[in-house]
Chain A
Amino acid sequence: MQAIEADSLVVRLGKRNAVNGLSLRLGHGVHGLLGPNGAGKTTLIRTLATVQSPTAGTLSLLGTPANGRLKAVRRKLGYLPQHFGYYKRFKVREFVEYLAWLKEMPSARIPGAVHTALERVGLTDRAEDRMKSLSGGMVRRVGIAQAIVNDPEVLLLDEPTVGLDPAQRLRFRELVAELGRDSCVLISTHLVEDVAAACTDVVLVNEGSLMFQGTPADLATAGTAQHVGDSPIERGYSALISANSAGGAW
């Protein structure tokens, strides 16, 4: 059993299939989700997070079919949406505690778990500050803290590194490497360098379909000197994307 098993997933949004017959299996480790704007990364992550119901196909998380009763599987899930909204008047600690409560953590364990989560994202000294007093990067780190507060077995992070300064990005890579040791971590990003540095595995999607799944080294070998990019892995990414989408300089 893999942590995430998706078969022929289709998610129809409006007139198009944002996810178009995608099959994916992910186990322990840190998986990087790459793809151009509109590729369907957010839609895929929402579907895996069980907040979006697929139009067709099957999804099972941690061996449980993700339809019908979702409570048990959601307790083991961590999710950071691309647009992470929060309550401005809440203190940082209160906000993460509230999310821990929503995740049905035993209340005796919440204060300790919240403390640990804030420590892991380096926000212990801001715990008693109001959410509205935080910088954009700090808000993102609160988002990561709420996602990991319940020690999830499946952790889904949609563009977690947006707004993080270089030092925090390095810290983040260490954190996910640690988390990926015994859980399944899926991170969507536009920063190919993040994937090269932090991920054991790359998942490349375009126009709702899976283009490639393999190691960062495999992705690098797909590129040649003719392809756009500053690093072998960026050139590999360009090669696979341009092979798929006809034309368009972007």
Chain B
Amino acid sequence: MTAHHPSEQLLHRYSRGDDDIPADQLWGVESHLESCAPCRGRLAPDPTAQAVWTNLEPLLDRTPQMSRARARWRVHGWVSPAAGPWLAMILLVTAAAVALDRVGFVVGERVSLVVLIAPALPVLGVAASWGRSLDPAHEVTAATPRAGLPLVLRRTVAVLAVVVPGLAAAGVLTGVGFVRWLLPCLAFTVGTLALGTLIGVTRAAVVLIAAWALVIVAPTIAFSRMAVALDPAAAPVWAGLLVAGLAVLAARRMAFARLEVNR
């Protein structure tokens, strides 16, 4: 994320695909373009180059391969390659919770399973994206320049992009209001990352899921009544936890560039 925008000339040479641009400048332009929409807009196709490319494209058989590769990087810029199967599992679990709810299975006094699984799902996805136990390539990844909070946040957004619509659909189908699941879900997501900077993401995920199961799920089942934390009135507390988590994350952001955070 370079602060200043690349010169017109440099952008022009970049868009033309000049291969004599020094590597550090090329890096600068590429990473700048990733984060700067105005400059992507400036990257108007050069008419001559465009004409040449239109004629050449069908002839170059490596072109489709290159664009497929680019598409793949674009996906994995957001979704960790390790997270795919877990995201599918998260959707299955959500669907199972809805199905159980529909056949009348509620825990305790009208506590839907959807509410009980909501905080655990993103924790699993985050652990799969940045944890030692679920991401086999975590160590090579940790040594690269992209390792760090921005990439972790993108992967977390990708996890939420699967979890939240899934739970939203589940909420509509089961009549569970979003206040009851959205804030705990977000607080646990940020909590995993924040605690992860202190004890490692894998351990943080285990600790938080265990705490949720012991403190909320088990009493709900054992005493057949809704835990206070699941009451919509608890929303301010969840919001407070969310903000506290974000503060820890901001203060400890450098931890994400190191291997310790994968533990």
Contact = CB atoms under 8 A, between A and B. Distances in A.
B72 interface: yes
**Interface residue tally of chain A, by bracket?**
35 or more
Contact of B145 (A70, A84, A110): A70
A51 B139 contact: yes
Given A74-B144, A108-B17, A85 B259 contact: no
A53 B260 contact: yes
B254 A68 contact: yes
B56 to A, nearest CB: 15
A50 B260 CA distance: 11
Nearest to A75: B145
A111 B66 CA distance: 7
Query: Secondary structure of the B side of the interface?
Result: helix
A189 interface: no
B6 interface: no
Contacts of A46: 259
B147 A102 contact: yes
Interface in A90-112: 90, 94, 97-99, 101-111
A244 interface: no
B136 interface: yes
Given A106-B23, A110-B69, A146 B257 contact: no
B166 interface: no
A122 interface: no
Given A81-B139, A86-B137, A87-B137, A106 B26 contact: yes
B81 A90 contact: yes
A107 B73 contact: yes
A237 interface: no
A101 B140 CA distance: 12
Interface of A: 46, 49-53, 68, 70-72, 74-75, 77, 79-81, 83-87, 90, 94, 97-99, 101-111, 143, 146
25 contacts: A49-B143, A50-B143, A51-B259, A70-B145, A70-B257, A71-B148, A83-B139, A84-B140, A85-B138, A85-B139, A85-B140, A87-B82, A94-B72, A101-B76, A102-B145, A102-B147, A104-B27, A106-B23, A106-B26, A106-B27, A107-B30, A107-B73, A108-B26, A110-B69, A143-B140
Interface of B: 17, 19, 23, 26-27, 30-31, 62, 65-66, 69-70, 72-73, 76-77, 81-82, 135-148, 254, 257-260
